[in-house]
Amino acid sequence: MHPPASSKPPPRVQIEDPQPVIDCGRYAVKACVGDLVEVSATIFRDGHDRVRALVRHRGPQAREWSESPMHRSDAELGGDRWAGSFTVTAQGRWEWTVEAWTDAEATWRDELERKIAGDAAADLSAELLEGAALFSRAAARARGNDRDVIEAAATALADPRTPEARRRELALAPELLAACERHPDRSRSTLMAPEVAIDVDRPRARFGCWYELFPRSFGGLSGVREQLEGLAELGIDVVYMTPIHPIGHTHRKGRNNALVAGPGDPGSPWAIGSEEGGHTAVHPELGTLEDFDALVAAAREAGIELALDFAIQCSADHPWLREHPEWFYHRPDGTLKYAENPPKRYEDIYTLNFDCDEWRALWQALLEVVEFWVARGVRIFRVDNPHTKPLAFWEWLIAQVRAREPDVLFLAEAFTRAAPLRALAKIGFNQSYTYFTWKNSRAELEQFVTELASSGMQLYCRPNFFVNTPDILTEYLQQGGPPAFRTRLVLAATLSPSYGIYSGFEHYENVALAPGSEEYLNSEKYELRARKLDGPLLPLVTTLNTIRREHPALQRLDNVSFLAAENDALIVYAKSAPGETLIIVVNLDGARVQEGVVIVPSGLGLAPAFEVVDLLSGERFDWRLGRNFVRLDPAERAAHVLAVAAAR
């Protein structure tokens, strides 16, 4: 047997199960500037000695650690769970860890108190001398007035001429313990390793209203610029433009995805590349790079951000097919393999081969595409089908871009299985499309949103509840008419901090290509449309966006609580923030009047009786804890968005 090799005794305090952590620390937790990050850990040691702990944290480029105290969060249950918090104040990568140590002074004081309580007349002179030695060491660590307080106590405790009653009084003085706590002995502390990472983004990563449009339907880049004032009045935060690049001619699709294009058919914007250029060019019919720069500047002045589509695919006419044929899939007969998602076939699009021998050059070229547009002022990218490209590529590209430009955000169009969707969020995507478009019943919505808000996904996955897309016209919208559109709009705007609308939604466009299809008849993907911001749903969009900006409770997801309703056609949820509580009631049945009882639980912290104001209509109602009657006629209103009124 050999003695331990280390000359220093191992730490006696144990730190276990730190939270929040994703996959044992493999991925960074997400937060936004200004967030209060709450951390916890199980902290204990052998024996009965008292323990102290703190959370250490530092922001990007910081050399020194800041510290915040931790306290036992389950002390009343006799547990060992500790909690602390700190505020993240800057964008970038933050780190935190936990340090814990034995508090010798508090342990000695606790033992002294218990001995006195057990036998007030006991001789404690030996214990007081132990305290004198303990406080002498503590005084050597202290400074200023604290040192004076501790030294005076140590001297008095060691002096046999001081009456024992006085020595006990000094030993138990609160100011003595407080002075010692400010100068602890951490020489044998336990430091949790490795540190936990937090990626801190700007608030737009969490909150905003998106509007998707085809620039060619609004008259090109200059036409989009003319719409910015109206979009700003609607409360739109992000204008997402479908690809603005040149479109290929070979195998160009015609109207309604026809295999042969007519003479005037413009083709799909996702068939990127022609003799006019590839991913860093602007389609001449949309404008020039100078027009794009002017659009970016005008959007910034209007308080709107532009999001570009980053689609990693090429038409047969893309310059890369001539310059880098090795980047593409070739069949044994030498032909190129076009994109497919059976039964869908995209004969006008060729995918890139990430397994080719020149994959490093391919990665670099794609990074340069993103950097090109970042240099022109783009700070948001909507990424097309990221789940069909290597996760390692995305982790690398996002890290490369954000190391230099932390403002840049990436939205994943990840309509895929749950595991890839979650993985994309973990590796760095700031937002993600979700399955919201297909969640229609009360049970589906409650289960889905609860998973997003409180299963652990809230630590890394930020949903964007798009109500529709150029590829998704759900059966609910096809069959529900205008009431269904109003219902989905209210749900998206009040459940998720980020939501999106594809133009045409505000006009109640709901005609499918064929029965059972989610494709639009006369899809804008394959033909020119003449769009205007004049749809009948836009006033509700404006109202909801105003409410969202004025009420912080709607700017988070993890604060949602679903309430009981005695009618499954009604979904009810509450959202709270400091100083406010909102209760939202939505009729999921667009065809019929629905009524029922909503049950308000005491856990919301509301008074037994309270007044609510419907932020959509201005009406006031008297509500109470327990049962409240609601009636919603979809012909008149889709929902109540009720704010609990301040006490009068």
Q: Count CB atoms within 10 A of the CB of residue 354.
A: 16
Average pLDDT over residues 312-327: 96
Structure tokens at 421: 């969707």
Virtual torsion, Cα 495, 501, 507, 510, nearest 10 deg: -80
Buried b (16+ CB within 10 A) or exposed e, 171-208: beeeebbebbeebbbeeebbebeebbbbbbbbebbbbb
For tokens 């950097």, the residue is 371
Cite the active site residues: 384, 413
Backbone angles phi, psi at 379, to 5 degrees: -125, 0
Q: Is the dihedral of CA 351, 354, 356, 359 positive or negative?
A: positive
Cis peptide bond upstream of 343, omega within 30: yes
Average pLDDT over residues 484-511: 98
Q: Per-residue pLDDT tens for 212-267?
A: 999 999 999 999 999 999 999 999 999 999 999 999 999 999 999 999 999 999 99
**pLDDT at position 3 over 80:** no
Question: Is residue 564 a contact partner of residue 573, using CB atoms and an 8 Å limit?
Answer: no
Average pLDDT over residues 337-366: 90
Q: What is the pTM assigned to this prediction? A: 0.94
Whole-angstrom CA distances from 189 to 65, 263, 270 are 16, 77, 58
Q: Per-residue pLDDT tens for 280-314?
A: 999 999 999 999 999 999 999 999 999 999 999 99
Q: Is the dihedral of CA 541, 547, 548, 553 positive or negative?
A: negative
Q: Per-residue pLDDT tens for 85-138?
A: 999 999 999 999 999 999 999 999 999 999 999 888 888 889 999 999 999 999
What is the pLDDT of the chain when averaged over all its residues? 95
Question: Is residue 542 a contact partner of residue 615, using CB atoms and an 8 Å limit?
Answer: no
Average pLDDT over residues 43-71: 96
DSSP 3-state of 499 = strand
Measured N-to-C along each axis, helices 418-427 and 391-404 cross at an angle, to the nearest 10 degrees, of: 30
Q: Is the dihedral of CA 548, 553, 559, 561 positive or negative?
A: negative
- Which residues are within 8 A (CB) of 615 and not within 5 positions of it... i.e. 6 or more apart? 543, 547, 551, 582, 641, 642, 643
Q: Per-residue pLDDT tens for 372-388?
A: 999 999 999 999 999 99
pLDDT of residue 647: 59
Q: Which amino acid is at 576?
A: S
DSSP designation for 204: G
The rounded percent of the chain whose pLDDT value lies above 90 is: 91
All domains of the chain, ordered by start, with CATH?
13-103+188-200 (2.60.40.10), 105-181 (1.20.58.80), 560-644 (2.60.40.1180)
Residue 344 — very low, low, confident or very high, per pLDDT cuts 50/70/90? confident
Please spell the DSSP secondary structure of 371-391, one letter per residue: HHHHHTT--EEEESSGGGS-H
Cα distance between residue 501 and residue 486, in whole Å: 12
Structure tokens at 77: 């249950």
**pLDDT at position 648 over 60:** no
Cis peptide bond upstream of 10, omega within 30: no
Structure-model confidence comparison of residues 621 and 7, the more confident one: 621
**pLDDT at position 564 over 70:** yes
Q: Pairing relation of β-strands 580-587 and 620-624?
A: unpaired
For tokens 């909690």, the residue is 83
DSSP designation for 460: T
Question: Is residue 384 a contact partner of residue 353, using CB atoms and an 8 Å limit?
Answer: no
The rounded percent of the chain whose pLDDT value lies above 70 is: 99
- Which residues are within 8 A (CB) of 280 and not within 5 positions of it... i.e. 6 or more apart? 369, 372, 373
Average pLDDT over residues 135-161: 94
Backbone angles phi, psi at 554, to 5 degrees: -90, 5
For tokens 């912290």, the residue is 605
Q: Which amino acid is at 203?
A: P
